[in-house]
Amino acid sequence: MEKKYIDEIEKEMKLANEGLPEHERKFFSDARPSRIEPLNKHLENFVNWARSKSLWILAFGTGCGSTELRPLMTARFDISRYGISGRPTPRQASVFVIGGYASMKTIKRIVRSYEQMQGPKYVIALGSCTINGGMYYDSYNTINRIDYYIPVDIYIAGCMPRPEALIAGFEELKAKIRKGECDGMNKYADNFDWYKENQKKIIKDWNMPDYNW
């Protein structure tokens, strides 16, 4: 193919970053997320086993569901027995626990933190409010379905789910990871435009890059 077509294709593959002011765009990446294929079968099974054995939760209590994360972490229901521990920075975390409802101000931070996490990354959504809005179904500031904005692997129903339910959910997640079904990162990369459209529909002042690493 001729070079200029390739350039055009590359140009339209790049992100616009319209939210940013002109002079700042050069500081941010304009590449879209790319699909990353898993390794060969046996190696992938092995690393999946390792991933499922050490899950690192991002320490971001986005809602009232995160109140039950503290008993989960501490001495009564000691989650560290299962190799699950908290990680204060999204760069190192691998599990994002959405604690309950996400308000419009929080979903912006959720998207940003989720995109900064280094894959493979898994999302656990707590509470009825993330499934269908729960008792805030008619609130003007809380979203109804979280899976329109980021891919979700496990839902844990209840308001709020008990720590036992959370442990069960983590076990479910581990089983899914070992089967290699948790592919939210590639899902996000494939349907990137759809997710972005939904996110920009509710985040009115989009003043961050379209995809921030």
Residue of 17, 94, 173, 199 that binds another protein (CB under 8 A) = 94
Residue type, 115: E
List, in sequence order, every residue forming a beta bridge with 156; answer none if it has no partner: 126
Is residue 194 a contact residue for another protein (CB under 8 A)? Answer: no
Check residue 1 for interaction with another protein (CB under 8 A). no
Stretch binding another protein (CB under 8 A), from 1-9, 10-18, 66-74, 167-175: 66-74
Closer CB to another protein, 90 or 151, in the complex: 90
Token pair 């089967």: residue: 179
DSSP 130-185: HHH-GGGTT-TTB-S-GGGTS--SEEE-SSSPPHHHHHHHHHHHHHHHHHT---HH
Classify 158 in phi/psi space as left (phi over 0), alpha (psi -120 to 50) or beta: left
Q: Which residues bind another protein (CB under 8 A)?
A: 36, 47, 50-51, 53-54, 58-64, 66-68, 70-71, 74-76, 78, 80-81, 83, 85-86, 88-92, 94, 101, 103-106, 108-109, 113, 118-120, 131-133, 135-145, 148, 159-160, 162, 185, 198, 201-205, 213
